[in-house]
Structure 1
Amino acid sequence: MKSTVALVGLSAVFFGFTSCKEDVADDYIAIDSLAERYDAGGATTVYLTSSNAFSTPASNLSGEDLDLHLFGDVEFEAAFVTAPAEVNGGIGTIFNNTSCISCHPKDGRSAFPTNINSLSGFFLRISAEGTDEHGGPNPMTGYGTQVQNQAIFGYEPEAKFQVSYTQIVETLADGTEVVLQKPNYNLVENYIPFESTPLLSPRLAPPVFGLGLLEAISETSILVNEDVNDVDGDGISGKANYVFDASTQSMQLGRFGWKANTASILEQCAGAYNHDMGITNYLFPTETGYGQTNGYDGLDDDAEITDDILDAVAFYCKTIAVPAPRNLENESVLRGAAIFDALDCAKCHVPSMQTGSSDITALSNQTIWPYSDMLLHDMGEELADNRPDFLANGQEWKTRPLWGIGLTNVVNGHTNFLHDGRAKNITEAILWHGGEAQASKESFKALSTQDRADLLAFINAL
């Protein structure tokens, strides 16, 4: 019966977008069951649908690893204050936020702020034309590579953020009009003039669960999906980013961040402490305002968090469980999964990957369902930030994992998606796709009302 349902559902898909994608019938493989996908994080998976769904330890941690995870959890939630202070002193003279959890509420996705200059999970990358000595973004003199829009008493922020919007209307096959809001970002009240036109890129903090599993995928398993020159002619390339890793002092495969511009969770955490909060550590020992007229306190402090704290927070981020999907036996979800494949969504949002060996036993040799190829893709001009980041050009973004996406509203109380939260629901997120995903977007627009609902049911089940 389930196989028949999937086939009947797809017949409507044929009529809905044959003109956009004529070879769908040839590529279609009926989906009888999605049951194996319930263990989205392999043995780390937890079966929660509450507001704590993104905040639970991996279910297969040893007792010793669980203790370290819980220690990291406490530190992840620690808020920093102005020095001197008996506890958690040392917030940067200039900064963006005061704790990890403030940017990643309940270990989930930050909402786009009502006030763009309030404390939130939103910030702006900045750089000048050219590259640094490792091929990465070229720091803007007086600003570095991230704009700090907050400051402690007696100091001045680097600048304030400003945003305006341009409307883009997309019309679906059933006549539904979707009004997209394209943000245009600017900096005002900057403390010194820019030496050249700044390259700006917005960022909104993503969920942090399942990161250790993504780090444990072998480089070979990721590169097998690369097709830089589109040899197979499907219009979808996929490219790995190679970035300078501070912990190894070498170029490594980029895995994390919106541009796959960070190689390891350790560096991601260390960089967030330093760039977001102005907290020095053994990987990034220099204050955010070092040498600047607005933010240098002249103290040149030792590391403001211990090595053990940084390592524990990185371990915590590696070992948060992945929540299981829901309702995968539902007929609408089964039809939606078939449509997801037929629209070629799965060519970038690759459903399943295999982890290799990890120094954390719980993460080793797991079959996982992240729905990401971990590669860069050209997403078109409308999503472009026009700011290169190592091998990522101004139109390329890393494929975001889709696991847990349907629980975003339950956990975080919103559905703001994409790198800057411009999409206010999954439909809008799909309609922002361009470039390599343009054909899939047009096929989505051509779906019938029912087929579109089925596709969204599948994505929301993840």
Structure 2
Amino acid sequence: MKPRAVPRRILPLAAALCLAAGGVSVFTIASDGAIAGAITVERPDLSQTDRQRVAAVTRPTTDFTRPEKFEAMSGGAGTSIASVNADSFSQFSANISFAEEETFKLGNALFRKLWVSSPSSTQASDGLGPLYNARACQTCHLKDGRGHPPEGASDTTSMFLRLARAPQTEAERQALAAHMVPNFPDPVYGAQLQDSAVPGLPAEGHMRIEYTEETVVLAGGERVSLRRPRYFVTDLGYGPLDATTTLSPRVTQAMSGLGLIEAIHPDDILGLADPDDADGDGISGKAAQVLDPQAGAMMLGRFGWKAQSASVRQQSAEAFSGDIGISTPDVPRSHGDCTAAQTACLSLPDGVQPRFGNSEAPAPVLDLVTFYSENLAVPARRKASFRETLAGKKQFYETGCITCHTPKFVTRRDAANKAHAFQLIWPYSDFLLHDMGEGLADGQPVGEASGREWRTPPLWGIGLTKTVSGHTFFLHDGRARNLTEAILWHGGEAEKARAGFAGLSKDDRQALITFLESL
């Protein structure tokens, strides 16, 4: 059960918290002000005093006349206060040690490293592909920012198609139920469409998008055009796709604050889940449980568009394999996403150098890239105290946006990196899966996420997308050309919040957008 955000107005106590013997109790407030129910959120990392402090500081505000204390420091003590420019997402956390700065910079160099095909004289850099989408992490995550769909002459480097089909046998259904796999790849093309290949090998194909325009009329008569995409694959290099294979477009996500997200105690996220909508508010956030290969245990998924990864390291290793075709100790597939049907791909040499280990990117490489990814700082808020920003914040709360976009958390005291420990952070996400309606459905289940469910993306840094990435394309496939369009695509569990936004006056809608642009 989750704290309730009441649309159109906020009750005097939107979420009342008190101490319990085992943790922090979160109470739901009914429309008449009565306590409707309670659960205990376990935080074994906290003392009783800590629990009281956390309960107080994470309580949703009801005062929109001034900013909250520390609100401008979105990433806690690690927040970057560097000048706003195209490198705003590429700063290291302000509170890491001097020695860790060196580790961060080494990881940055490897993140930018261009891999080459095998065999090569640069043996520490070969192993690319043989089928791949990018030659470097930075190619997809340019400036550590948000990807985009192809526009005009632009390529699709920061956007790709995930391929998957439903289970077809009892053994496959059992494997899915046991979380051994998130879904099943196309039998020929694998889990991801690779639009590039090493010399002498055909690429798998290319993504093509067709858009149709739809008009939405908002309160006051303002008209907004939304573009609805359809996805196709052209130039297939290895025959047809399986008839049951689904196409799921994904743009790359911004990298800021990943280590802080990992440091949120799972009990705080699980405490927000309400999979059966027990409180009847129409929001049924669901936690994704995934098998973490390094831990060999079930863990809370919190990364990726469908919360399919439990850790930054897991996400990094999968990206090395799926995007670049580089094996790591965690995902030791030296031929990347090549399938058994792609015999020419499997016959090509790989880049494994036994003296470095049994993978193309040995453990030190994965360790450094993971550290870099975990310690990219969240930029500080801009204009958090401005009147229009505060007015927009009030609308954001009162239309019910915070029901899924949970404003703040305090990270765990026992975080693996001291810099991430016990920080008040403002990601604006509950990191749960939500049904976003048929309009945003991709029809592709991933683990516990259905074809209509997506993880709530964090909003910190969203206002700097244009500055860093040079565009304002949003949502999982970049269909939204601005924040207004992104909100209007919300459906399913977010339909009430969307309707609330559409029903605001033009000035109030603009104030809400101004608030988002300040994040």
Give TM-score scaled by structure 2 length. Answer: 0.82
Confirm or deny: 8 A CA contact 1:96 1:148 kept in the other structure. Answer: yes
In the superposition, relative to structure 1, how do residues 377 and 339 fare at CA in structure 2: closer, same or farther (>3 Å)?
A: same
1:392 pairs with 2:449:
yes
Q: Alpha-carbon deviations, 1:192-222, whole Å to 9, x = none?
A: 2233321111110011110000001111011
Match of 2:64 among 17, 28, 31: 31
Q: Alpha-carbon deviations, 1:234-272, whole Å to 9, x = none?
A: 111110011122222332211100000111110111111
SS in 1 for 2:298: strand
The number of residues matched between the two structures is 442
SS in 2 for 1:137: coil
Distance in 2, Cα, partners of 1:368 & 1:139: 37
Q: Kindly provide the amino acid, as one letter, of the partner of residue 379 in structure 1.
A: M
Q: Kindly provide the amino acid, as one letter, of the partner of residue 424 in structure 2.
A: T
In the superposition, relative to structure 1, how do residues 80 and 28 fare at CA in structure 2: closer, same or farther (>3 Å)?
A: closer
Match of 2:110 among 75, 92, 106: 75
Q: Kindly provide the amino acid, as one letter, of the partner of residue 148 in structure 2.
A: A
1:262 pairs with 2:304:
no
Distance in 1, Cα, partners of 2:152 & 2:378: 31
Higher RCO structure (Cα 8 Å, ≥6 apart): 1
> In terms of mean alpha carbon deviation, does 202-211 or 244-253 score higher?
244-253
- Post-superposition shift, 1:142? 1.5
Mapping for residues 88-103 of structure 1, pairs under 5 Å? 88-103=125-140
Confirm or deny: 8 A CA contact 1:54 1:106 kept in the other structure. Answer: yes
Mapping for residues 252-291 of structure 1, pairs under 5 Å? 252-286=299-333, 287-288=335-336, 289-291=338-340
1:247 pairs with 2:294:
yes
Q: Which residue number in structure 2 is paired with residue 424 of structure 1?
A: 481
1:189 pairs with 2:235:
yes
Give TM-score scaled by structure 1 length. Answer: 0.92
Distance in 2, Cα, partners of 1:281 & 1:240: 28
Confirm or deny: 8 A CA contact 2:187 2:339 kept in the other structure. Answer: no
Confirm or deny: 8 A CA contact 1:42 1:366 kept in the other structure. Answer: yes
Q: Kindly provide the amino acid, as one letter, of the partner of residue 225 in structure 1.
A: L
Confirm or deny: 8 A CA contact 1:116 1:162 kept in the other structure. Answer: no
Q: Alpha-carbon deviations, 1:36-79, whole Å to 9, x = none?
A: 21110001001232221101010000122111111101111111
Q: Which residue number in structure 1 is paired with residue 411 of structure 2?
A: 355
Confirm or deny: 8 A CA contact 2:210 2:229 kept in the other structure. Answer: yes
Q: Kindly provide the amino acid, as one letter, of the partner of residue 64 in structure 1.
A: A
1:295 pairs with 2:342:
no
Confirm or deny: 8 A CA contact 2:75 2:380 kept in the other structure. Answer: yes
Distance in 2, Cα, partners of 1:30 & 1:64: 41
Match of 2:196 among 150, 162, 167: 150
Confirm or deny: 8 A CA contact 2:132 2:196 kept in the other structure. Answer: yes
Q: Alpha-carbon deviations, 1:403-430, whole Å to 9, x = none?
A: 0111111111111111111111100000
- Post-superposition shift, 1:146? 1.1
Match of 1:41 among 75, 96, 116: 75
Root mean square deviation, CA, Å: 2.1
- Post-superposition shift, 1:117? 8.7
- Post-superposition shift, 1:144? 1.8
1:230 pairs with 2:277:
yes
Q: Which residue number in structure 1 is paired with residue 25 of structure 2?
A: none
SS in 2 for 1:67: helix
Q: Which residue number in structure 2 is paired with residue 343 of structure 1?
A: 399
- Post-superposition shift, 1:110? 1.4
Distance in 1, Cα, partners of 2:204 & 2:476: 22
1:445 pairs with 2:502:
yes
In the superposition, relative to structure 1, how do residues 135 and 75 fare at CA in structure 2: closer, same or farther (>3 Å)?
A: closer
Distance in 2, Cα, partners of 1:441 & 1:458: 16
Distance in 1, Cα, partners of 2:376 & 2:205: 35
Q: Which residue number in structure 2 is paired with residue 177 of structure 1?
A: 223
SS in 2 for 1:183: strand
Distance in 1, Cα, partners of 2:293 & 2:417: 21
- Post-superposition shift, 1:298? 4.1
Q: Which residue number in structure 2 is paired with residue 383 of structure 1?
A: 440
Q: Which residue number in structure 2 is paired with residue 309 of structure 1?
A: 365
1:331 pairs with 2:366:
no
Q: Alpha-carbon deviations, 1:340-393, whole Å to 9, x = none?
A: 000000110000011112121100111100000010010000000010011100
Which ranges in structure 1 are unaligned for 5 or more consecutive residues? 1-9, 12-22
SS in 2 for 1:415: coil
Q: Kindly provide the amino acid, as one letter, of the partner of residue 221 in structure 2.
A: G
SS in 1 for 2:504: coil
1:55 pairs with 2:102:
no
Which ranges in structure 2 are unaligned for 5 or more consecutive residues? 1-7, 10-30, 35-59, 353-358
- Post-superposition shift, 1:102? 0.9
Q: Kindly provide the amino acid, as one letter, of the partner of residue 198 in structure 1.
A: T
Q: Which residue number in structure 2 is paired with residue 160 of structure 1?
A: 206
- Post-superposition shift, 1:159? 2.1
In the superposition, relative to structure 1, how do residues 85 and 425 fare at CA in structure 2: closer, same or farther (>3 Å)?
A: farther
Distance in 1, Cα, partners of 2:62 & 2:161: 43
> In terms of mean alpha carbon deviation, does 37-46 or 192-201 score higher?
192-201
Q: Kindly provide the amino acid, as one letter, of the partner of residue 62 in structure 1.
A: S
Confirm or deny: 8 A CA contact 1:110 1:204 kept in the other structure. Answer: yes
SS in 2 for 1:244: strand
Distance in 2, Cα, partners of 1:228 & 1:422: 28
